[in-house]
Chain A
Amino acid sequence: MAEIRNYTMNFGPQHPAAHGVLRLVLEMDGEVVERADPHVGLLHRGTEKLAETKPFNQSIGYMDRLDYVSMMCNEHAYVMAIEKLLGIEVPRRAQYIRVMFDEITRILNHLMWLGTHGLDIGAMTMFLYCFREREDLMDCYEAVSGTRMHATYYRPGGVYRDLPGTMPQYEVSKWHKKKDVDRMNEARQGSLLDFIEDFTRRFPKMVDEYETLLTDNRIWKQRTVGIGVVSPERAQQLGFSGPMLRGSGVEWDIRKKQPYAVYDELFFDIPVGVTGDCYDRYLVRMEELRQSNHIIKQCVEWLRNNPGPVITQDHKVAPPKRLDMKGDMEALIHHFKLFTEGYCVPEGEVYASVEAPKGEFGVYLVSDGANKPYRVKMRAPGFAHISAMDEMVRGHMLADVVAVIGTMDIVFGEIDR
């Protein structure tokens, strides 16, 4: 009798469907996966170590680079941890701005997920559609912070600046004719809030478009229904959070259950799956797109009617206005101290978590009273999800591994830190 042995296969580190740098060692029996051993850490940058050597504010930028498709949500968890230890109040307008941008970020993230997940299992069009809408949201990021991705917009005590009154416009160039530019600039004539409102009006139709392409699509269903099923008990045991947990039917969303910022004043629903397979998680995320859109609408409405400060007036933590520094000695001193030394955070420890698009993103901060954190631990949702890879793909076909990686919404920035 011929000798039969399992075949060990390397998936990645460089593989278009690995969503970054994932090396997956697969033990195969024919085309069936016997065991999966993900090797992560290829993108390890030592963010936690770096944060220990920098004043608190200088690490906000690192948070963007953790989960680099849900930038502002990471910042939110970090600044919330600092705020809790400092015991400072955040102005309400800043909280609404934060919630609005958290939800914009959620849409950004889910569009990225939908596009790449679609691309992975054979729906090329999704990728193009999703990136079309992402462009508009990136412009919102740019309008408010100057960068399209790594915003560093949230600061302890509020947000860096108020929403701008104008939107950046396209200009006529070699690639864009006057007619096209006029069309692209049509929604950009007013303020940022006008632009976002216009987006929220357009967006539900876009989600309908995505759903016509996928939800009842036979190929999509063949690739996702019954793949990577996780029972609610296992989902809890494995440390799942976010859509991965809700897809399995556990009704849990930090925005509802342990509301932070102003989520307790907003109306939205939490979609929950039934079977816990890839298709349910897809449906959950699609509904979250609509719900996020709904939240953004409410925030725009509130922000229009309630002007006010967007950052705390405590200048030990937040810098004074540039203009004040010209004539006020104390403002100048505050500014100087803040940017040379930072601020000292009282001794203690705190865990702050937000419902990031991928799940629970938490920051555990230990301070010994210095101007730098003593220890920062980022709890990345993706880390817990990918650790369940072995359990989820065991017994599935090789092609389903790609579907499972897609449904986990993996980004290596946060897993490897």
Chain B
Amino acid sequence: MSKKAVSALCEKLVARFPDSQAVHSAQDQITLEVPAEQLIETCTALRDEKDFAFEQLVDVCGVDYSDYGNVDWTTERATGTGFSRGRDVVEEKTTAWEKPRFAVVYHLLSHSKNQRLRVRTFADSEFPKVDSVIDIWSSANWFEREAFDMFGIMFEGHPDLRRILTDYGFIGHPLRKDFPLSGHVEMRYDPDKKRVVYQPVSIAPRINTPRVIRHDNRYGGESLPEVKEEQQGS
């Protein structure tokens, strides 16, 4: 979408949905944040009103924000003081994320108006629940099943909310951030029992490349946080 089309659509969205929490655009893509209780109403309007005419739901995607902004190493001292090895292993992890833990992100596409929109709604961590948009767009069916499978987000009104990608009898929601990469169980053939058995994983989790966030002035983010002068040692 061109810059002009983006700002035009932004204005229309702000005028039409004054209750929505935010309309913002970056990289020429617009995000509309909708409170969970207004999701159905908003989506119906987005599909039916001629200014929007989003005939197609391209994608539904769950996001777990519980680990947002967390790193394995802090690296600020290296750039701030120059001479240290510049890494501190982070033991305690607390995220700076203030909104609810789960988000469901819908990507909409309008063939007739040739425009795209991202709609996001949040769900809290205790019992994440969002209304199903399956009555508005049929394609939501499997996409919502997938988000349920991966994140445990319940879609109220979905007629057939079964697991879709994971194994039969799978426990847990693999894309949640507290689910380990190597999982909880592994499967092997047991020659004694002459069948396949499940057992706890034998692989120890490890990190090959630590996750770091480096503040980069080129991208116009906030400048480097003040480095506290440390007296001892140096």
Whether B36 sits at the interface, judged by CB under 8 Å, is: no
Contact A40 to B58, CB < 8 A, known contacts A55-B209, A84-B27, A346-B219 = no
- The stretch of B15-23, B37-45, B61-69, B226-234 that contacts the partner chain: B61-69
* B141 and A387 within 8 A (CB): yes
**Set of chain A residues within 8 Å of B64, measured between Cβ atoms:** 375
Q: In the assembly, what is the distance between CA of A372 and CA of B138, in Å?
A: 33
B139 at the interface (CB under 8 A from A): yes
B69 x A368 contact (CB < 8 A): yes
Q: What is the predominant secondary structure among interface residues of chain B facing chain A?
A: loop
B68 adjacent to A368 (CB under 8 Å): yes
Contact of A364 among B59, B141, B215, B219 (CB under 8 A): B59
- Asked if A236 CB lies within 8 Å of chain B CBs, one says yes
Distance between Cα atoms of A252 and B27 in the complex (Å): 23
Chain B's closest residue to A44 (CB) is B165
Give Cα A250 to B114, complex, Å.
13
A347 and B65 alpha carbons, distance in the complex (Å): 13
Q: Which of B211-234 contact A (CB under 8 A)?
A: 211-216, 219-221
Please tell me which one of the listed residues A46, A55, A344, A348 contacts residue B27 in the complex, with CB atoms under 8 A apart: A348
Task: Answer whether A370 and B116 are a contact pair too, CB < 8 Å, given A383-B142, A387-B142, A416-B165.
Answer: no
Smallest Cβ distance from B175 to chain A, in angstroms? 6
With contacts defined as CB atoms under 8 Å apart, how many contacts are there between chain A and chain B in the complex? 135
Contact A44 B166 (CB under 8 A): yes
Assess whether A370 is in contact with B59, with CB atoms less than 8 Å apart: no
Q: Choose one: A44, A50, A346, A388; the contact of B216 (CB below 8 Å).
A: A346
**Is residue A129 contacting chain B, with contact meaning CB distance below 8 A?**
no
Residues in B with CB closer than 8 Å to A50 are 181
Q: Are B209 and A238 in contact (CB under 8 A)?
A: no
User: Beta-carbon contacts of B195-216 to A below 8 Å, as 1s and 0s?
Assistant: 0000000000001111111111
Chain B residue numbers with a CB within 8 Å of A349 are: 26, 31, 118
Tell whether, in the assembled complex, residue B166 and residue A41 are in contact, meaning their CB atoms are under 8 Å apart.
yes
Q: Are A49's CB and B107's CB within 8 A?
A: no
Interface size class of B (residues with CB under 8 A): 35 or more
Give CA–CA (A346, B220) in the complex, Å.
9
Task: State whether the Cβ of A217 lies closer than 8 Å to any Cβ in chain B.
Answer: no
Q: Which residues of A contact B212 (CB under 8 A)?
A: 341, 344, 370-371
A54 located at the interface, meaning its Cβ lies under 8 Å from any Cβ of chain B in the complex: yes
Chain A neighbourhood of B12, CB < 8 A: none
Asked if B175 contacts A49 (CB within 8 A), the reply is: yes
User: Provided the pairs A239-B57, A344-B216 are in contact, do residues A351 and B211 lie with their beta carbons within 8 angstroms?
Assistant: no
CB-based contact A362/B59 at 8 Å: yes
Q: Are A377 and B59 in contact (CB under 8 A)?
A: yes
Question: Smallest distance from the beta carbon of B93 to chain A beta carbons, Å?
Answer: 13
Q: How far apart sit A90 and B63, CA to CA, in the bound complex (Å)?
A: 29
Q: Assess whether A287 is interfacial by the CB under 8 Å rule.
A: no
| Shortest CB distance A297–B (Å) | 28
- Minimum distance in angstroms from A257 CB to a CB of chain B: 5
Let me know if A237 and B181 touch, CB within 8 A: no
Q: Considering the chains assembled together, what is the distance between the CA atoms of A383 and B138 in angstroms?
A: 13
Docked pose: A156 CA to B135 CA in angstroms: 39
Mask for A220-241, Cβ within 8 A of B = 1, else 0?
A: 0000000000000010111101
- B29 on interface, CB distance cutoff 8 Å: yes
Q: Let me know if A371 and B27 touch, CB within 8 A.
A: no
Flag whether A147 is at the interface (Cβ < 8 A).
no
Contact string against B for A residues 15-50, beta-carbon threshold 8 Å, 1 for contact and 0 otherwise = 000000000000000000000000011001010111
Tell me the smallest distance from the CB of A238 to a CB of chain B, in Å: 5
CB pair B107 A379 closer than 8 Å: yes
Which chain A residues border B6 with CB–CB below 8 Å?
none
CA distance A58 to B61 in the complex (A): 22
Contacts known (A236-B56, A237-B139, A416-B165); A347 close to B211, Cβ less than 8 A: no
Does B99 have its Cβ within 8 Å of any Cβ on chain A?
no
Contact A237 B137, CB 8 Å, known A374-B68, A379-B107: yes
| Residue numbers in A under 8 Å from B210 (CB-CB) | 341
Interface flags for A388-402 (1: CB within 8 Å of B; 0: not) read: 100000000000000
Q: A46-B181, A50-B181, A346-B221 are in contact. List 4 more A-B contacts (CB 8 A).
A: A236-B111, A344-B214, A346-B216, A371-B209
Please name 7 pairs of A and B residues whose Cβ atoms are closer than 8 Å in the assembled complex, sorted by A. Answer: A53-B207, A84-B27, A237-B138, A346-B219, A360-B58, A362-B59, A371-B214
**Ordered nearest first, which 9 A-B pairs have the shortest CB separation?**
A239-B139, A387-B142, A41-B165, A346-B219, A377-B61, A379-B59, A236-B55, A237-B138, A44-B165
B binding-site residues for A, Cβ under 8 Å: 1, 26-27, 29, 31, 55-59, 61, 63-64, 67-69, 71, 105, 107, 111, 114, 116, 118, 137-139, 141-143, 146, 150, 163-167, 174-175, 179, 181, 207-216, 219-221
